[in-house]
């Protein structure tokens, strides 16, 4: 049977090619034996060798991932607490004020967030570097986590909370055994979102970094101004692979937890253990 030709499919492929072509162009040239992106001089891994010899770049990569991991972890905790507060708030006005503040932070341009953080840090005399970057990353990640967690809370059956209380659970037991496990997919999604936002943030970091501390996006930007070395291409290729792995990881975790639910095996510790 001959498959019918579909314009929509053609369009889809066109868009995908348009989106991914520059990335693949970059990756392919990371294997170029020459030093520029004009003309193919043969296959070589020399830019990768250069990359791994560049201790400053390695250090920056480690810093970037450390910032991303720490900021998204802390933002997940704080954001979940914030979402719980907004969810639990009975006063409509206060609830809406907090929600709006959260959303404004989410849509406001990075440049403004970055500039305001710079002003804040200078005014209070906070030295720029690792801590200032970490704090600002946590700050812009919290609204993302709140946005991912809040719908889960709102979808949650209200009577679950009533049932936990009815069965004798105190607030902490209710939270740890019922609410958190139920909203955990939202927290997980929030964590991954915050992680990727932190990884590729340029604007905010650019403002609040200093004293020699740098993250990848800022470093690549400053190097690119002096002409793009193919070492950057090698680095970008590696980063692309890492992103791909992250996406796959998220996919595997989320499908496995839903499969587990179906089979009846446990992701969470059985209620009889612990506590």
Partner 1 sequence: MAEQTPIIEFKSVSLAYGDTEILKGIDLSLEQGKFYTLLGPSGSGKTTILNLISGQLAATSGDILFENKRINDVPVEKRTVNTVFQDYALFPNMNVFENVAFGPSIKKMSKTDIERQVHDMLKLVKLDQYADRDISELSGGQRQRVAIARALANDPKVLLLDEPLSALDYKLRKDMQYELREIQQRLGITFVFVTHDQEEALAMSDWIFVMNDGVIQQNGTPEDIYDEPINHFVADFIGESNIVDGIMKTDYVVHFVGKDFENVDAGMRPNERVEVVLRPEDLDLTTIENGKLIVTIDDQSFRGDYYEITAIDDDGNEWQVQATNSAQVGERVGLTFDPEDIHIMRFNESEDDFDARLESYEDDDEE
Out of 101, 160, 241, 252, name the contact with partner 1 by CB under 8 A: 160
Which is nearer to partner 1, 160 or 252 (by Cβ)? 160
Out of 22, 42, 125, 168, name the contact with partner 1 by CB under 8 A: 168
Contact flag: residue 91 with partner 1 (CB under 8 A): no
Which pair of tokens denotes residue 186?
């939202």
Q: How far apart are CA 144 and CA 267, in angstroms?
A: 25
Out of 55, 91, 159, 226, name the contact with partner 1 by CB under 8 A: 159
Residue 210, Cα to own-chain centre: how many angstroms?
23
Contacts with partner 1 by CB under 8 A: the residue count is: 28
**Nearest of 154, 171, 172, 178 to residue 83 by alpha carbon:** 154
Contact flag: residue 165 with partner 1 (CB under 8 A): yes
Enumerate residues 208-237 that contact partner 1 by CB under 8 A. Answer: none
Q: How far apart are CA 215 and CA 219, in angstroms?
A: 6
Map tokens 């720029």 to a residue. Answer: 128
Q: How far apart are CA 243 and CA 196, in angstroms?
A: 8
CB of 211 to partner 1, least distance (A): 46
Q: At a CB cut-off of 8 Å and minimum separation 6, what does 111 contact?
A: 203, 207
Q: How far apart are CA 71 and CA 136, in angstroms?
A: 9
Contact flag: residue 263 with partner 1 (CB under 8 A): yes
Contact flag: residue 253 with partner 1 (CB under 8 A): no
Which pair of tokens denotes residue 10?
């053609």
Contact flag: residue 167 with partner 1 (CB under 8 A): yes
Contact flag: residue 188 with partner 1 (CB under 8 A): no
- Binding residues for partner 1, rule: CB under 8 A, are 157, 159-160, 162-170, 173, 177-178, 181-182, 184, 261-264, 266, 268, 270-272, 275
């Amino acid at each position: 049977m001959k498959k019918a030709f579909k314009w929509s499919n053609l369009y889809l492929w066109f868009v995908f090619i348009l989106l991914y072509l520059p990335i693949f162009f970059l990756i392919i040239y990371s294997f170029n034996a020459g030093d520029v992106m004009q003309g193919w001089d043969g296959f070589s891994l020399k830019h990768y060798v250069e990359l791994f010899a560049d201790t400053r770049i390695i250090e920056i990569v480690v810093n970037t991932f450390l910032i991303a991991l720490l900021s998204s972890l802390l933002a997940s905790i704080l954001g979940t607490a914030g979402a719980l507060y907004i969810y639990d708030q009975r006063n409509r006005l206060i609830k809406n004020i907090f929600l709006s503040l959260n959303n404004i932070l989410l849509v406001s341009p990075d440049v403004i967030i970055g500039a305001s953080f710079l002003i804040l840090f200078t005014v209070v005399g906070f030295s720029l570097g690792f801590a200032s970057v970490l704090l600002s990353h946590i700050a812009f990640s919290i609204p993302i986590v709140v946005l991912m967690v809040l719908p889960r809370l709102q979808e949650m059956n209200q009577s679950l909370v009533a049932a936990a209380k009815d069965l004798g659970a105190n607030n902490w037991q209710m939270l740890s055994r019922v609410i958190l496990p139920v909203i955990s997919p939202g927290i997980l999604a929030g964590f991954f979102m915050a992680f990727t936002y932190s990884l590729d943030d340029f604007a905010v970091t650019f403002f609040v970094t200093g004293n020699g501390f740098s993250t990848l996006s800022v470093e690549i930007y400053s190097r690119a101004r002096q002409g793009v070395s193919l070492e950057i291409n090698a680095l970008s290729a590696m980063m692309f692979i890492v992103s791909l792995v992250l996406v796959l990881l998220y996919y595997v975790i989320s499908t496995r937890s839903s499969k587990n639910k179906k089979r009846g095996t446990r992701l969470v510790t059985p209620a009889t253990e612990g506590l």
